[in-house]
Structure 1
Amino acid sequence: MSGSTLLVDIEDGIATLCFNRPEAKNAMNVAMRAELHDAVVRIRAERSVRAVVLRGAGSDFCSGGDVRGMNVTSAQAGRERIDDLHGWVSMLIDLDRPVIAAVDGVCYGAGFSFALAADFVIASTRARFCMPFMKVGLVPDCGAFYTLPRVVGLACAKDLVFTAREVGAVEAKAMGAVLEIVEPDRLHARAAQLAASLAAASPVAFGVAKRALNQSLGSDLRTMLEIEAAAQGIAFTTEYHQEAVRRFREKAEPLFKWPARET
């Protein structure tokens, strides 16, 4: 399943997708686009995968699209270039399983968009985030118009997009784009720890909760109450719920436990 530009490892129900162009700060080229598409499609269909971790090879996450390969000569060609991304990007955003981005070093452009597609971002102390599109006369892509305002708010999204300025891990966390900041040598172990914990959650409850949360900002109260009632009705019937209740009553080890935070 692994390709030359994307390393894919599936172990104990956790799929790790590793951008593998460290010599180019893991910039996304045509080959990586195709390999990401294939990987996301397979993970979506493979129910044994319970969580996904996104990371980069070397000391960077992803520096965005490879500018050297951007030779678009017409608006239609430019649209087709981006439309080709939308199928698997939307599948990643809507994936009914937890997605964690482990961000080290550079997280620019499309790389930032990939991080925003995750449910949680764990950043190293040296992580740097940027939407640099204005510097080359382009606009954010890979779903960032949808995800960025929802994650950081409209005012912060305009700040990041219009100024194309870089922010460090601490400011990104203050904006809400980062869940935790850890030292670089702890980054991937911490991401794996959180992925393993989330993989132990009820797949049904997690999937319907994520779907509902992704819809919430574009829906009204009545719609969300209906979704809530339908989702809870389904969750009540699962074996996972019954077993969790039994363990609670018997004071046994719970099925789901969020790992302790870094100190």
Structure 2
Amino acid sequence: MNESLLTEIQDRILFLTLKRPESLNSFNLEMLTGITNSILEAENNPEIKVIVISGAGRSFCAGGDVKTMGNTNASDVYEHIGVLNKCIKAIKDTHKPVIASIHGFAAGAGFNLALACDLIIAAEDSKFALSFSQVGLISDGGGSYFLPQLIGPHLAKQFFFSGEAVSAERMAQLGIVNFLVPAKDLKEETVKYANKLAGGPGKAFGMMKKLIDHSFTSNLDEILEKERMIQTLMVATEDHHEGVLAFKEKRKPVFTGK
């Protein structure tokens, strides 16, 4: 049993709840390994359509545990970040949509964990902070990659250099947060949206995710050819046939992800 991560499957949705509330869900190896393994298992489970990551207690995730900093050597740090990197890669590599449901603080690598997800739903009073500079460190967990792509290098440098907390409203204005909801409605709204995705064309969602992510490292010709090849495969899926039939019959499609 993983004491740092709560894992639940409900109605085609895998819920991963970071469970170290006494330290604002700061990372440890058990938590990171648990997230990675759970996502890898979900990737191979056709019953799971969507993954939701959230935090227990007062906050989403504080990132690295500041209480243990200064007591580790370079080798330990190198190994720990390697485990973190596997977790980030698992989120990006899975074909299943991954939603980060944020309340309280998402700080440091906890913010970067959210950035690795496909969508962010945040409570209106939540805050985001790239707090690495405040302890004399650089970003880890992929923030140096994700954030500049979302908001450009100048603003990314401002956030990294200052380390100051930024409101969820500002993050929504910048396009980092997809949906802002009242704190009391966060879980309900997250589940509602996850269920909406779970009822969608899973294979198409997975391919959309890959194409969009690859667009940052591909040129137009490469993306056009990928679209051409993938669409050739998509027209043979059951979801496509169901979508066309539902359109003709003027009803809502019932997708199965096949």
Task: Identify whether the pair has TM-score above 0.5, normalized to the shorter chain.
Answer: yes
Identity, in percent, stands at 34
- Tell me: CA distance 1:47–1:156, structure 2 relative to 1, closer, same or farther (3 Å): farther
SS in 2 for 1:47: coil
How far is 1:118 from its partner?
1.2
Q: Which amino acid aligns with 1:142?
A: G
- 5+ long unaligned stretches in structure 1: 257-263
Q: Deviations over 1:72-93 (max 9, x none)?
A: 323x443222122222311112
Tell me the distance in 2 between the aligned counterparts of 1:124 and 1:14.
20
Q: Residue 45 of structure 1 corresponds to which residue in structure 2?
A: 44
Q: Residue 186 of structure 1 corresponds to which residue in structure 2?
A: 185
How far is 1:150 from its partner?
2.1
How far is 1:94 from its partner?
2.2
User: Where in structure 2 are the equivalents of 1:233-244 lying within 5 Å?
Assistant: 233-244=232-243
SS in 2 for 1:155: helix
Tell me the distance in 2 between the aligned counterparts of 1:37 and 1:247.
37
How far is 1:45 from its partner?
2.5
Tell me the distance in 2 between the aligned counterparts of 1:61 and 1:160.
19
CA contact (8 A) 1:125 1:184 kept: yes
How far is 1:250 from its partner?
1.0
CA contact (8 A) 2:50 2:97 kept: yes
Tell me the distance in 1 between the aligned counterparts of 2:45 and 2:251.
31
SS in 1 for 2:62: coil
Tell me the distance in 2 between the aligned counterparts of 1:149 and 1:235.
32
- The reply on whether 1:15 has 2:14 as its aligned counterpart is yes
Q: Residue 164 of structure 1 corresponds to which residue in structure 2?
A: 163
Tell me the distance in 2 between the aligned counterparts of 1:110 and 1:244.
40
Tell me the distance in 1 between the aligned counterparts of 2:153 and 2:253.
39
How far is 1:65 from its partner?
1.1
- TM-score normalised to structure 1 length: 0.92
CA contact (8 A) 1:131 1:165 kept: yes
Q: Residue 97 of structure 2 corresponds to which residue in structure 1?
A: 98
Shifted more, 13-22 versus 138-147: the winner is 138-147
Tell me the distance in 2 between the aligned counterparts of 1:3 and 1:16.
14
CA contact (8 A) 1:13 1:199 kept: yes
Q: Residue 249 of structure 1 corresponds to which residue in structure 2?
A: 248
Q: Residue 202 of structure 1 corresponds to which residue in structure 2?
A: 201
How far is 1:144 from its partner?
1.5
CA contact (8 A) 2:111 2:128 kept: yes
Q: Deviations over 1:153-205 (max 9, x none)?
A: 32221121111111011111111110111111100111111111111121211
**What value does the CA root-mean-square deviation take over the aligned residues?**
1.5
Tell me the distance in 2 between the aligned counterparts of 1:99 and 1:156.
25
Residue-pair matches, total: 254
